[in-house]
Amino acid sequence: MKNSLQVQLLGKPIPRAATESKTLPSFQALPILSSDALSSVAYATEAALGVLILAGSQRLSLSLPITLAIVILIAIVVMSYRQTIAAYPQGGGAYIVGRENLGVLASLVAAASLLIDYVLTSAVSLMAGTQALSSLVPGLLPWEVPIALLLLVLVGWANLRGAGDTGRLFALPTYAFVVMVALLGVAGFHDLVTSHGWTPDPPPLLRAVEPLGLFLILRAFSSGCSAMTGIEAIANGVQLFRDPAAKRARATLLVMGLLLASMFLVVSGLGFMYGIAPNPDVTVMAQIGMRLFGAKSALFVLLQVTTLLILMLAANTAFADFPRLSALLARDNFLPRQMGWVGDRLVFQNGIFALLVVTGFIILVCQGNTTIAVNLYAIGVFLAFTISQGGMVVHWWRKRGQSWLARALMNGVGAISTLLVLIVIVISKFGEGAWTVVVAIPLLVMALVKIRARYRKVYQEIGIAPGEVSAINVPARDLKIGNISVVWIAAWTKPTVQALRYAATVSDRVIGVWVQPDGESEEPLLAAWRSSVGSDPNLELQILESPYSSLINPFADYVDGLSKLWGDTTITIVMPLAIPRYRFDSLLLNQRGINLRQALAEHQQLVFTLVRFYLPA
pLDDT at 2: 46
534 DSSP 8-state letter:
T
Cα–Cα dist 12/314, whole Å = 26
CA distance 385 to 74: 12
Phi and psi for 250 in degrees, rounded to 5?
-65, -45
Nearest to 422 by CA among 538, 172, 414: 414
Tell me whether residue 3 is exposed, middle or buried, using C-beta atoms within 10 angstroms of its C-beta: 0 to 12, 13 to 18, 19 or more.
Answer: exposed
Q: Bridge partners of 291?
A: none
DSSP characters for 210-277? S---HHHHHHHHHHHGGGGTTTTHHHHTGGGBPSSHHHHHHHHHHHHHHHHHHHHHHHHHHHHHTT--
CA 340/CA 349 separation, integer angstroms: 9
Dist. CA 216–CA 223, nearest whole Å: 11
Return residue ranges of the chain for CATH 1.20.1740.10. Answer: 26-452
Helix axes 63-87, 44-52, angle to 10 degrees: 140
The pTM assigned to this predicted structure is 0.78
**pLDDT score at 39:** 87
Is CATH 1.20.1740.10 the classification given to domain 26-452? yes
Q: What is the mean pLDDT of each run of 10 residues along the chain (617 residues)?
A: 51 51 75 84 86 83 90 91 85 81 90 88 87 87 88 84 58 89 93 88 77 81 83 81 85 93 93 86 89 90 91 79 84 81 68 90 82 76 88 88 84 89 84 84 91 79 64 55 76 81 81 77 80 74 73 75 71 78 59 60 64 69
Using an 8 Å Cβ cutoff, are 81 and 234 in contact?
A: yes
Q: What is the DSSP track for 354-408?
A: HHHHHHHHHHHHHTT-HHHHHHHHHHHHHHHHHHHHHHHHHHHHHH--TTHHHHH
Please list the alpha-helical segments (H only) found in 14-62.
Answer: 26-39, 44-52
Q: Given CATH 3.40.50.450, say whether it is the number of domain 483-614.
A: no
User: What stretch(es) of the chain map to CATH 3.40.50.620?
Assistant: 483-614
Contact of 552 with 595, CB cutoff 8 Å: yes
